[in-house]
Amino acid sequence: MTRRPKFARRHLLRGLGGVVLGLPALDIFEGRVHAAEPTQRKIYSALILQQNGLVQGPHTGGGVVTDVVPNAPVETDMFWPRAMGVLSAATMTGADADRATSELSDYASKLIFLRGTSFKYSHLHGGGAVAASTGAPVTGTYPRELPVSESIDFYIAENAAGGQEPLTLYAGRKGEFRDDSLSFGKGGALRVGDNNPWTVYQRMTGLAGAMQGDPELVKKIAQQRLSVNDLVRGELKDFLARTDLSADDRRRIELHLSSVRDMEMNMSTVLEPLLDVPGMQAINGSHTTDANIEKAALMQVDLIAFAFASDRARTATLQVGSCNDHTRYTINGMLAPPYHPISHRNNSDGQAGSLISNSVTLHHEIDRIHARYFKRLLDRLAAYTLPQGGSLLDSSVNIWTNSLDDGPTHGSTNVPYILGGGAGGFLKTGLHLASPGASHRVLTTVASAAGCRKPNGDLIDNFGDPTAPSLISEIIA
Amino acid sequence: MRLSNSQWEVTIQDLLRLPAALGLSRSFVADPGLGEFDTYGGQLLVDANRWQDYETAAEVVAKQVAHDSGLLATLTPAAADTATRKANFLRDFGLRAFRRPLTVADVARYSALFDKGASLIGSGDAFVDGVELALRAFLQSPNFLYRLETSANVVGGRVPLSDYEIASRLSYGLTGSMPDDAVFAAAAAQKLHDPADVSVQAERLVSLPSGQATALAFHAQLLHLSDYDQIQKNTANAPAFTAELVPALKQETLAFVQNVVYGQDRGIAEMLSAPYTFANGSIAALYGASPPLPVGAGGDAFVRLELDPTQRAGLLTQIGFLAANAVEQTPSTIPRGVHIAEDVLCVPLPAPPANVPPLPALDPNSTNRERVATLTMNAPCSSCHTSLINPLGFALEPLDGLGQYRTTENGKPIDASGTYNIDGKDVSFNGPVELMKALANSQQVHDCYARHLAEFIYGRDLDPNSGADSLLVSQAGARAKSMPSAKSLMVALATSDVFLNRAP
């Protein structure tokens, strides 16, 4: 039976200046860890999803894209660098400073910009997010389509991270049209994201801070939980032993059983300066107000980096906004109209409202806000250095994408994929490329970068869409 | 099926016999909202986050109960000795937590855990510690978190449910919570498998405060009342549309439904055609009530307000629905039409295509109807819009985005005429009142209402390929039209063959 090294994760944070608090080993858990530690370098992966498209002008991504629809207002590209090819920090902050992606210039050499990706099986607000993270065929009817298979975060967790639970997060309001639609477990089971940084933090650390400082108390609580968990596991196993259980019920009970965790998962924690814990507590309960959504999104990004740094998760998703995000951002000190009507360029959730005269500028500024969410992730991951050298950013591959391509057409033939991090040298970074083809190609490449392999050791080539195996070879080092 | 967050919250309150909800589910990860209604427990899973939420909540609740002498006395009444008190607690609380009697194996498991309390918690009171530890397990048990139906004997092609399983279906379907003492007593007496006996309990439950709240929750979800939260009007043009108005608009709709269903014992036909509403002073002013109702402190009670029967009829002509499906003063014709088609007539609509072209530039001399008609006149849009969506939305054109009645737009007369296939034949109408009258008289609408109500109570989509489900809809729909009482329809659905049995 594999024995997990005790508290190896604390070494991750050496040299950061953070305070590290390790708790004593609890012998009662020895031998209870099912997942073996992979021997290869750990690769972390986060996916952040924006809604409502971008301001990227007419479709110029190349390859399989649609023409600009007749009568659509002409918009210029305000998102991408002007030149294809090698990304340059100097150009991004110089000639391309007016583009939203200039927010990421600090990381020019660690980025890959892929434009012109399309969604194959599901589209629009109801299905775009599904396609963005799965690339898979779907079942069900719009707008509640579900993929037939798992999303990229769950797939990597299962195939390259020892089954470690993905971190599923959300920022913004729920209850608008369709909410969670980014992370999916086995068989396409929807995973729901927590949108409250405070409860995410509490769940991640497991116990109140005062308790963590008392090893005897921790041991006592761990033993209590163990006894209760053993009883619950017994009940769940009794159900699984039934021969008349339907396949769906069996899958539900198996998921439930795998979700029952002993305190080993939470028994060490890291108190460090890159989390604004008082801030999380301060907006607890008002984390979905327009005034706090930006703050909450940044806190969720910090929590992703924290989870990676403490090895609580290897993969994470952050869906920002419901599928037709109505967040009212404050832009240049003014409260803007809801984001979704801005994306339509008129005061409606469709095509019939009065014109929002500065909607293109507002949408561009919202694109910049989302770029800064992604930059925050890169900043945080870059700040965590690893004992073997390099940073968490270097050992990760992260995605920023969108459920639509642009606002006025709500199309899905020119979807952006921004990758950050080189996955331990697997990816060739610092590039701006056209990436015609469906989203599963990007996702397959990312899964390979994260360490997913075929049984024979070859790179995987068919994540999401088994009918069209493919990798983007241009970005593989 | 798993308890939803709201069901968990109310169940905890009822299980512990608390006067108010604890509110612990507010910090739970939200339910996914994948189903038509939030009662669709079959789509609710327990992943690691949710399990951790349940664990934390169970620990909080167990500690609170164990260290509250009043609660402890309620849940563990005094007995001749500690062993008897413990056995009684496990038997009685266990039955209410699992919504069925504990098996011998259950008792052995929980008794063993109870006995570990003294060593694992060690407060100095072994009984209290045992209760706390056992409570933690009861509240994390799949027997508590799921509504399990384990009956398996097939009789005549179906599986009759046990009395306790029917007890849970009844209570969650009609009151959103666990069975009350009377339902448990009926289950214990095996008085919950005969439809006549079940009917006795169902009739009682639908009229309880929790039953009324559940019925209102159904109508709130059917009418998408949460959409009202998106109402945002420029107060320069519509000064009455303040943030405070939104909850009042919701209250208007709920007060109206409450009156129709419980005050008058009527159903969907009345809801679609009534020439009155329930308004406070602020809302009455929006309807142009004369004389005005009092506004402000002491004058905000919701009272019946008669409306102009030539202008308005029922729920879909109330200001909340109209304003929520509009941008500023301009009606959102398409969402209005989609709502009526899907939610009132059960007309299935396909997804809109991607890459929808934008509307032609706004012509100040055109009407909203003309713009929408132009946008949707060509393929592929026309296949759905021309016959399935637009006519329903156009009928509401006299009621603008602020819910105000109008006869002209941009100097042109409002055209609210249309034809729609209802009950298998083309029905012509002109304006909201004629459309609502046609809907209220329609068998298709009553079938649709019965179907939605069944889906809410049963917690699942009805299967169009199931003969039993299809028969249920046609029978319930016919009953809804001939006996227009929503309450009696709820009782009929809760005593149906589909409800009292499950598929093998």
- The pLDDT tens digits for A55-93 are 998 654 332 233 333 344 568 899 999 999 999 999 999
Please enumerate in sequence order all residues whose Cβ is within 8 A of that of A238, keeping only pairs 6 or more positions apart, or say none.
none
Containing domain of residue B19, as a range?
5-145
Q: Which residues of B touch A118 (CB under 8 A)?
A: none
* Closest residue of chain B to A232, computed from CA coordinates: B141
* Tally of helices (H runs) and strands (E runs) in chain B: 24, 10
Alpha-carbon distances of A297 from A177, A315, A325, A371, A374, rounded to whole Å: 20, 17, 13, 12, 10
pLDDT at A272: 54
Domain boundary among B129, B145, B161: B145
Interface probe, candidates A196, A231, A290, chain B, greatest B C-beta count within 10 A: A231
Extended beta strands in A131-290, E state: 138-139, 146-147, 167-171, 183-184, 190-191, 269-271
pLDDT at A36: 38
* Closest residue of chain B to A240, computed from CA coordinates: B142
In a domain, B426, yes or no: yes
**In angstroms, what separates the C-alpha of B417 from chain A's closest C-alpha?**
20
* Contact of A120 with A111, CB cutoff 8 Å: no
Q: Which residues of B touch A194 (CB under 8 A)?
A: 29-30, 49
* Structural domain count of chain B: 2
Helices B195-207/B486-494 angle, 10° precision: 140
What is the secondary structure of B260-296 as a DSSP string?
A: IIIIS---HHHHHH-SEEEE-HHHHHHTT-SSPPP-S
* Tally of helices (H runs) and strands (E runs) in chain A: 12, 16
Residue whose structure tokens are 């109330």: B318
Range from A169-173, A241-245, B378-382, B472-476 carrying the lowest mean pLDDT: B378-382
Is residue B251 helix, strand or coil? helix
Q: pLDDT higher for A371 or A6?
A: A371
Using the beta-carbon criterion (under 8 Å), do B113 and A227 form an inter-chain contact? yes
| Angle formed at CA B241 by CA B416 and CA A287, multiple of 5 degrees | 120
Nearest partner of B224 among B46, B379, B452, B66, judged by Cα:
B452
pLDDT at A198 over 70: yes
pLDDT at A472: 94
Count of alpha carbons within 13 angstroms of residue B46, beta-carbon side: 27
Nearest partner of A243 among B150, B101, B166, judged by Cα:
B150
pLDDT at A13: 32
Which fold is adopted by the domain A38-196+285-475?
A: Alkaline Phosphatase, subunit A (3.40.720)
- Within this chain, do residues B283 and B416 fall inside the same structural domain, yes or no? yes
User: Phi then psi for A77, rounded to 5 degrees?
Assistant: -70, 120
Does B154 reach chain A within 8 Å, measured CB to CB?
A: no
pLDDT at A355: 75
In a domain, B200, yes or no: no
Does B244 reach chain A within 8 Å, measured CB to CB?
A: no
In a domain, B446, yes or no: no
Q: What is the mean pLDDT of each run of 10 residues along chain B (504 residues)?
A: 94 95 92 85 85 93 93 93 96 97 97 96 95 97 94 89 96 97 97 94 97 97 90 81 88 96 96 95 89 70 93 96 88 93 92 62 76 80 87 96 92 94 96 97 96 95 87 91 92 94 86
* Closest residue of chain A to B54, computed from CA coordinates: A260
Does B124 reach chain A within 8 Å, measured CB to CB?
A: no
Using the beta-carbon criterion (under 8 Å), do A352 and B372 form an inter-chain contact? yes
In a domain, B237, yes or no: yes
Using the beta-carbon criterion (under 8 Å), do A352 and B330 form an inter-chain contact? yes
Give the pLDDT mean for A446-458. 94
Using the beta-carbon criterion (under 8 Å), do A260 and B51 form an inter-chain contact? yes
Does B116 reach chain A within 8 Å, measured CB to CB?
A: yes
* Greatest C-alpha distance within chain B: 87
pLDDT at A40: 63
CA atoms B462, B465, B468, B470: torsion sign = positive
* Contact of B485 with B268, CB cutoff 8 Å: no
* Closest residue of chain B to A233, computed from CA coordinates: B141
Q: Give the span between the Cα atoms of B368 and B363, in whole angstroms.
A: 10
Q: Categorize the per-residue pLDDT at A411 as very low, low, confident or very high, splitting at 50, 70 and 90.
A: confident
- Within this chain, do residues B234 and B125 fall inside the same structural domain, yes or no? no
Domain boundary among B400, B421, B440: B440
Using the beta-carbon criterion (under 8 Å), do A412 and B354 form an inter-chain contact? yes
In a domain, B42, yes or no: yes
Instruction: Enumerate the domain spans of chain A.
Output: 1-36+208-271, 38-196+285-475
In a domain, B159, yes or no: no
Residue-averaged pLDDT of chain A: 83
Token duo for residue A141: 């009817």
> Which of B31, B51, B120 is facing A224, going by the closest CB pair?
B120
* Contact of B90 with A260, CB cutoff 8 Å: no
Q: pLDDT higher for B458 or A211?
A: B458
Q: Give the span between the Cα atoms of B22 and B4, in whole angstroms.
A: 15
In a domain, B358, yes or no: yes
Alpha-carbon distances of B397 from A68, B285, B314, B380, B431, rounded to whole Å: 32, 21, 16, 24, 8
Q: pLDDT higher for B500 or A175?
A: B500
- Within this chain, do residues B138 and B238 fall inside the same structural domain, yes or no? no
- Give the number of other CB atoms < 10 A from CB of residue A209: 11
The residue count of chain A comes to 477
DSSP H or E segment with residue B139: helix B126-140
pLDDT at B463: 87
In a domain, B455, yes or no: no
Q: Give the span between the Cα atoms of A229 and A244, in whole angstroms.
A: 25
Range from A177-186, A221-230, B293-302, B495-504 carrying the lowest mean pLDDT: B293-302
Nearest partner of A257 among A163, A167, A338, judged by Cα:
A163
Interface probe, candidates A224, A249, A344, A359, chain B, greatest B C-beta count within 10 A: A224
Domain boundary among B107, B124, B145: B145
CA atoms B324, B325, B328, B329: torsion sign = negative
Q: Which residues of A touch B30 (CB under 8 A)?
A: 174, 179-180, 192, 194-195
Q: pLDDT higher for A27 or A239?
A: A239
pLDDT at B438: 97
pLDDT at A152 over 70: yes
